[in-house]
Amino acid sequence: MADLQERLAQAIEGEVLFDRFSRGRYATDASIYQIFPLGVVVPKTRADVEATMEIAREAGVPVLPRGGGTSQCGQTVNEAIVIDVSKHLNRLLEVDAEAKLAKVEPGLVLDQLNAELKQHGLWFPVDVSTSSRATIGGMTANNSCGSRSIRYGTMRDNVEALSCLLADGSRVGFGPTDRASAGDNRDAAAPLFRDLLDLGSREAEEIQARFPDLMRRVGGYNIDALVPNGPSNNLAHLLVGSEGTLAFTEEATLRLSPLPQNKLLGVCHFPTFRQAMEAPQHIVKLEPTAVELVDRTMIELSRQIPLFRDTVDSFVRGEPQAILLVEFAEEDSAENARRLAALGDLMAELGFAWGDPGKQEGGLVEAREPAFQKAIWEVRKQGLNIMMSMKGEGKPVSFVEDCAVRLEDLADYTSRLTDIFRKHDTDGTWYAHASVGTLHVRPVLNLKQEKDVKALRAIAEECFAMVRDYKGSHSGEHGDGIVRSEFHEAMFGARMVDSFAWVKQRFDPDGLFNPGKIVDPPKMDDRSLFRYPPAYRVPPFETHFDWSAWDLSGGSAGGGFQGAVEMCNNNGACRKLTDGVMCPSFRVTRNERDLVRGRANSLRQAISGQLGPDAFASDEMAETMKLCVSCKGCKRECPTGVDMARMKIEVLARRAEQKGLSTRDRLIANLPRYAPLASRLSWLANLRDRVPGLPRLSERLLGLSAARSLPRWQAKPFRPKATGAAAPDVLLFADCFNRYFEPENLRATSTVLERNDTRFEHALPEAGRPLCCGRTYLAAGLVEEAKAEMRRSLAVLKPAVAHGIPVVGLEPSCLLTFRDEAPALLPGEWSAEEGAKVQLFEEWLMAEREAGRLRLPLAPLKAKRALLHGHCHQKAMNALSPVQRALALIPELKVEMIPSSCCGMAGAFGYQAETQEVSMAMAELSLLPRVREAGADSLLVADGTSCRHQIHDGAARQARHVVALLREASDNALN
């Protein structure tokens, strides 16, 4: 492998990754399997791909093309050289709006494509639920479908042509091919085309007899595309769904559709699951664009996820056992209204109109507003991740999950399949495409146990036999991979499987492309290929946080931390490039390493010994965590709840214990201890940015970027004194950053409290230096020091909270530490319920308003517009809405949210020489461009100290804390 790595490194411009950590990150997809690849190539150009294939061919090793790595059947794992096209080969090459065609590279993500097509009034309508990370190449390889396939068909129906590299290195275009002249063509591909079309003619009768007559049939090769059906055949359709086993797609020509302008959505409620399954055969007669199932399990699990709870409560009435989302999207809005009304009539005819309001046994909820519809569809799109958020060693397992049957058989099929599950002591979770008889169903199994592995095979064999009885398809959307390929002979017959093998041999005689998929597969229950093979063990080790909420194995080795790490299901929701926060480092680098999924895989493999001894505290692990900015975006936006910020602290703590800390890390961690002295000697502490040459020296000696100015110590910091309030309404907590760097914010807070007639007291220690949340120590991995700081603070905060006095402060990263980390670091000493009483100023202010106690006089500001950037921790803890509402209190002020991820400063991250460029790149994704577009008459608002500094450094604009604006508006009211 070393020789192969060296040859590749010399031959290509892109990255060549053969280290064990990198290979481990590409060893899994969203399936149950794990196979370490030989190495990984991240090509920059098509020439890189060509060179990689040539070297692999000469070395006799296979290659595996890969996009987002979200396959659920094991298509994108293999002992091969993985070629990751998602980072660079991701361009939209051409749009012909008149012809409704687009040419794209394989690594282009579907959401990115549709964002660019929107300006043309077009979209690519194969709307898979993983659209935020699914690449066109992967969708083509898998013959993806999507929620609206009843209207738009599958990937095969929307691919016009493919330009491919074949195993012998030749470039061939596949598309509509004239049968009569294909053999006469002098092109080098003519013999291949002729042989393929001959196969279609020869096997036409067998193909037509054995392939299920269903739209949702994606098993095996699409050799029905070779059967004579007119003067020409589209040979690209043979490659669609071939799972990277026949060729490498360099370019795809896609058919586009007009972007729907008018949509209406009906949410049909059913008292029983069977009744929901009997309804689609009637609903589809109304010609909807989608009919999607959400079952009781998914409803309840989504209610447990903060990101979805409010939305689910807004469209689910009562306690239905299942709901169907029925969409109409005709050009004529009146026609959509007519069909939605007809849906209501149909529900009444079926016996499901709203009856007694107290019972709400079934009926229709209408979603007419686009924002409401979007929120509902987002819950449905996250169905897989919501299901996988189920806590326990048993997880919903994908292997029979997308069989397809006719709608008239759907109710009986689901009933019989449920009986099969219960026969094997399990049950299933159901959701997805009721419109086409393809339901995603996953029995809950613990594949670390031999008995459940046996159940896996037994359920598969019994389920697929039943599907054949119904003349259905055992693979209706997610392809074959490892999990289903071995069942092709039972499904299609030996002769058809021989035809599949012939196609593979004709394209790829030496097995260069992704061997073992579709043709010559391993057994689906070969445990040596599982993510949790029989030898999988996690030895005991100590952690600092209380991970008991994740202790899924009854106190097994590894404890709750193991369970928390293993919650990552590899579905790749963290790969999204827009919306929300996570994962800002990936959005900049596009590296699998710099991704929640990539880090979680490295952690899991490290604690189980798969990456060598002491990998948890290794330099490779430090590099893996290096660009994690602890934004906590994953804590809220990952539906399975992977909290990488907290996991990073565990890694930092282990490294600090074993390897110690750098001078820079100690300097930053101990800021609360020396801050009082630094402020008294502010003239000295601030010299670094005033004396030429000192910034460069600090970079060389301490690793503090010379490109950055440091926060300025104030000679007159905020020095709180007891107010003497006998019965205070509020306990004001002054954080280190606002105390020593921006004391005017704390002074403004005091003024606002006074003008609101709020009695307040400062959180003061009995003796010694000011109180601290411990945040800077956590950032360095000094957990015990952080606990000590927290205990000093809790000695003051806890009595106040016990007496019903809320603790209020300004800095999100500090105040929310008491809500997030402190309960898990100090269980038994501080609870989550107590942490909830520690509030950001805006949270307290809006609670006061709702209670009718807001008396703060406010008048308009000179500026009439404010742009708001939310701190990551505010977003993660659902604490941003109060900021918006607080700003809305200022008369005549129009507030606009900046749709941004992390600002990139993230505490010390932006000041470090080795991460300063990435920090600025994060800011340049959306925040800084939006700030620069804002006129001088627009206010910039950011509650985070780091956020304000980043905006100042990157755009030379001054952002302000919301309390400063409230103070100014109050001044105007009194003057």
Other residues' Cβ atoms within 10 Å of the Cβ of residue 577: 16
Where residue 430 falls among pLDDT bands split at 50, 70, 90?
confident
One DSSP character per residue, 838-865 reads EEEHHHHHHHHHHTT---------S--E
d(Cα 807, Cα 586) in Å, to the nearest integer?
A: 36
Q: How confident is the model at residue 378 (pLDDT cuts 50, 70, 90)?
A: confident
What single string gives the DSSP state of each residue in 312-374?
Answer: HHHH--S--SEEEEEEE--S-HHHHHHHHHHHHHHHHHTT-S--STTT--SEEEEE-SHHHHH
Distance (Å, rounded) from C-alpha 928 to C-alpha 953? 10
pLDDT at 150 over 60: yes
Q: Are strands 322-328 and 39-42 parallel, antiparallel or unpaired?
A: unpaired
Residues 6+ apart with CB under 8 A from 688: 694, 695, 698, 710
* Higher pLDDT, residue 358 or 121: 121
Q: Which residue has the higher pLDDT, 584 or 389?
A: 584
If one compares 704 and 975, the residue with the highest pLDDT of the two is: 704
Residue 354's pLDDT band (cuts 50, 70, 90): confident
Q: Is the pTM of the predicted complex or chain greater than 0.75?
A: yes
pLDDT over 50 at 357, yes or no: no
Looking at residue 360, what is its pLDDT? 45
Q: At what angle do helices 962-974 and 841-850 cross, to 10 degrees?
A: 50
For residue 441, list its beta bridge partners. Answer: 430
Could you read off the pLDDT of 35-89 as tens digits, one per residue? Answer: 999 999 999 999 999 999 999 999 999 999 999 999 999 999 999 999 999 999 9
How far out from the chain centre does Cα 443 lie? Answer: 23
pLDDT tens digits, residue range 187-239?
A: 778 999 999 999 999 999 999 999 988 888 899 999 999 999 888 899 999 99
pLDDT over 90 percentage in the chain: 86
Q: pLDDT tens across 516-564, in order?
A: 999 999 999 999 999 999 989 998 888 999 998 887 654 444 568 999 9
For 645-677, the pLDDT digits (tens) are: 999 999 999 999 999 999 999 999 999 999 999
E runs forming strands in 140-242 = 159-165, 171-174, 176-178, 232-234
| pLDDT tens digits along 765-786 | 988 899 999 999 999 999 999 9
Q: What is the pLDDT of residue 558?
A: 54
What's the rounded mean pLDDT across residues 299-323? 88
Kindly state the tokens that stand for 699: 């970079």
Q: Locate tokens 């670091």: which residue? A: 825
pLDDT in tens, 264-309: 999 999 999 999 999 999 999 999 999 999 999 889 888 887 778 8
Cα 832 from chain centre: 26
776 and 671 Cβ atoms separated by less than 8 Å:
yes
Whether the Cβ atoms of residue 573 and residue 555 lie closer than 8 Å to each other: no
pLDDT reported for residue 633 = 94
Strand 171-174 and strand 159-165: the pairing is: antiparallel
744, two tokens: 């005017």
Handedness of CA 591, 592, 596, 598 (dihedral sign): negative
With vertex at residue 538, the alpha carbon angle to CA 536 and CA 544, rounded to the nearest 5 degrees, is 155
What are the pLDDT digits (tens) for 87-106?
999 999 999 999 999 999 99
Instruction: Tell me, letter by letter, the H, E, C secondary structure of 803-829.
Output: CCCCEEECCHHHHCCCCCHHHHHCCCC
> Which residues, 6 or more positions from 216, have their beta carbon under 8 angstroms from its beta carbon?
145, 149, 154, 402, 404, 433, 436, 437, 438, 473, 476, 477
Mean pLDDT of the chain: 94
177: left (phi over 0), alpha (psi -120 to 50) or beta: beta
**pLDDT at residue 957 greater than cutoff 70:** yes
What sign has the CA pseudo-torsion 149, 152, 157, 162?
negative
- Per-residue pLDDT band at 611 (split at 50, 70, 90): very high
Q: Which of 68-77, 598-607, 631-640, 903-912 has the lowest mean pLDDT?
A: 631-640
- What local confidence, expressed as pLDDT, does residue 559 receive? 66
Q: Who contacts 889 (Cβ-Cβ below 8 Å, separation ≥6)?
A: 849, 854, 856, 858, 966, 969
Residue recorded with tokens 């699998």? 592
Kindly report, residue by residue over 867-895, the tens digit of the pLDDT.
999 999 999 999 999 999 999 999 999 99
Please state, in angstroms and rounded to a whole number, the distance separating the CA atoms of residues 362 and 316.
10
How far is the C-alpha of 67 from the C-alpha of 128, rounded, in Å? 15
- Which own/partner contact pairs does 18-21 have at CB distance under 8 Å and 24+ positions apart? 19/620, 20/611, 20/612, 20/620, 21/593, 21/602, 21/611, 21/615, 21/620, 21/621, 21/623, 21/624
Beta bridge mates, 64: 82
The bridge status of strand 63-66 relative to strand 264-270 is unpaired
> What is the Cα–Cα distance from 410 to 279, expressed in whole angstroms?
10
Query: H helices within 727-774, ranges in order?
Result: 736-740, 743-755
